[in-house]
Amino acid sequence: MANADQKKFMAQIDANKDSIIQRLAKAVAIPSVSGDAAYRKHVFEMADWLLAELKGLGATAELKPLGKQVLDGKELELPPVILGELGNDPAKKTILVYGHFDVQPALKSDGWDTEPFELVIDEKTGRMCGRGSSDDKGPILGWLNVVEAHTQLGLEMPVNLKFCLEGMEESGSVGLDELIEAEKDKFFTGVDAVCISDNYWLGTTKPCITHGLRGIAYYKLQISGPARDLHSGVFGGVVHEPMTDLFAIMSKLVTPTGEILIPGIKDLVAPLTDEEKQRYDVMDFTLDDINGATGSNSTVSEDKAKVLMGRMRYPSLSLHGIEGAFSEPGTKTVIPAKVIGKFSLRLVPDMTPEKVNELVTKFINDEFAKLGSKNTLTLTAEHGGKPWLADPNHWNYEAAIKATETIYGVKPDLTREGGSIPVTLTFADTLNKNVLLLPMGRSDDGAHSINEKLDVSNYIEGTKLLGVYLHEVAATK
């Protein structure tokens, strides 16, 4: 399927194997932990190193300062965002690449088998262990490896590239949304589609491409009555207890098998098409994968497709906890005076936080009225985020699918994820362009855990995938 240029490129990546692993080793050696003030200087060091690499490959690039933040009581400079550009041929498409160069904290004493900030390669298993190997230094260096190979081959890049690489992803992406909004009609002008390099295969053997993320609507349900906590001996049976009301209402939101009982919610969910259903049937995924991740056997169904749809394409409702009730170990005979139940819904198209707020508010007020309680209910909608779903028939996806077939010889799973990656929605909404999540690593890479790793094969083939994807982008109409 690959044309001559693609073949030359892939061979060059194989030839560069040692040097591009060395590039990753250098990146992992910089402990660019964004969440710890003591490590902040290394995030800057990482930005400088990456900027030099980009410039060395012929890109124009600059560090965009984001101002200050307060962390651990100290005022700190935020790490800059790297905005880079390679090529501006109006005849070519322009792909915006997103990734991040900061990492999660890691200490050997956390339980790592090796030094976290040293890339240690196990020749037998092909695993490259080190913090950031998979999340997200390997994937961003993949793009640099692509450019380098083209230069070495004297091969023209098939598309124009723009880079947006941040250093605060592991710490809330502070300042990023504002920068994207501010640069919308400046740096980001001319972007045709976006490729986000910051996720993983669904399993460990088959590549996937992610085209959807669930949104969220988070609620605080406060019920208050007495002016102070009461003794259950003296007041049990005497007053309307806020906890009883809270349990009565929160128990009516969702069934133990996860069915949301709020009227109207199901009607908002876009219907399942046969084509989509088939995707779940063939996905590289078993119940064992889920059970391994939860350390239990507690899936709501034994049907793989149902479980996958429960995570990817249907809404869910989780009860998180109660503020103001007795939460310590031991026993206490208290009637809590004011309790705040926390719950949230994960949203899918065509749900929006606004529509969901309306239904949740009406249902909860109706149910509370039925109780005939003298307590007071206050429902607050906390953060809300729309679901995101990209059209997988767009040329951006066509290119990624073709490239995956070329590299891995298999049609990738078209997956959606249950959680959210906020920058995805920011790019989709702000730039109004198709966004694609193209993963390099596997589900078992342990992104936020000890012994984070990236397999050599995922790094090498994943780098090839990025390059061939760009060629396929150029080839689409």
Binding mask 203-222 for a second copy (x = CB under 8 A): -----------x-x-x-x--
CA 290 to chain CA mean position, Å: 18
- Tell me which of 336, 353, 387, 467 binds a second copy, using CB under 8 A: 336
Element (H, E) at 416: strand 413-417
Using CB under 8 A as the binding rule, the residues of this chain from 419 to 448 that contact a second copy are: 419-420
Nearest-angstrom CA–CA distance, 399 and 396: 5
- The single residue of 169, 284, 367, 455 carrying the catalytic annotation is 169
Binding mask 348-377 for a second copy (x = CB under 8 A): -----------------------xxxxx--
Nearest-angstrom CA–CA distance, 376 and 421: 36
- Tell me which of 382, 391, 410, 457 binds a second copy, using CB under 8 A: 382
Q: Is 39 in the site for a second copy (CB under 8 A)?
A: no
- Asked if 455 and 126 count as a contact pair (C-beta separation under 8 A), the reply is yes
Using CB under 8 A as the binding rule, the residues of this chain from 383 to 422 that contact a second copy are: 383, 417-420
- Tell me which of 295, 409, 432, 477 binds a second copy, using CB under 8 A: 295
Rg over CA atoms, the chain: 25
How many residues make up the chain in this entry? 477
- Tell me which of 279, 346, 402, 471 binds a second copy, using CB under 8 A: 346
Q: Is 34 in the site for a second copy (CB under 8 A)?
A: no
Token look-up 């991740």 returns 293
Stretch touching a second copy by CB under 8 A, among 6-14, 249-257, 276-284, 453-461: 249-257
Closest separation in Å from C-beta 34 to a second copy? 20
- Asked if 214 and 318 count as a contact pair (C-beta separation under 8 A), the reply is no
Residue of 46, 228, 245, 150 lying closest to 474 (CA atoms): 150
Q: Is 326 in the site for a second copy (CB under 8 A)?
A: yes
Whether 169 is a known active-site residue: answer yes
Q: Is 286 in the site for a second copy (CB under 8 A)?
A: no
Closest separation in Å from C-beta 333 to a second copy? 6
- For Cα atoms 402, 408, 411, give the angle at the middle one, nearest 5 degrees: 50
Residue of 60, 56, 85 lying closest to 160 (CA atoms): 85
DSSP for residue 87: -
- Tell me which of 307, 400, 428, 437 binds a second copy, using CB under 8 A: 307
Token representation of residue 178: 């504002």
Nearest-angstrom CA–CA distance, 105 and 448: 8
Q: Is 311 in the site for a second copy (CB under 8 A)?
A: yes
Q: Is 294 in the site for a second copy (CB under 8 A)?
A: yes
Closest separation in Å from C-beta 330 to a second copy? 9
With respect to a second copy, which residue has the nearer C-beta, 10 or 339? Answer: 339
With respect to a second copy, which residue has the nearer C-beta, 329 or 409? Answer: 329
Q: Is 331 in the site for a second copy (CB under 8 A)?
A: yes
Whether 110 is a known active-site residue: answer no
- Tell me which of 63, 71, 248, 269 binds a second copy, using CB under 8 A: 248
- Asked if 194 and 435 count as a contact pair (C-beta separation under 8 A), the reply is yes
- Tell me which of 243, 379, 400, 466 binds a second copy, using CB under 8 A: 243
Q: Is 111 in the site for a second copy (CB under 8 A)?
A: no
DSSP for residue 254: B
Give the residue ranges of DSSP H helices in 378-421. Answer: 395-408
Instruction: Determine the residue type at 428.
Output: A
Residue of 122, 141, 126, 146 lying closest to 26 (CA atoms): 141
Q: Is 160 in the site for a second copy (CB under 8 A)?
A: no
Residue of 348, 357, 416, 421 lying closest to 383 (CA atoms): 357
Closest separation in Å from C-beta 349 to a second copy? 15
Q: Which are the catalytic amino acids?
A: 102, 169
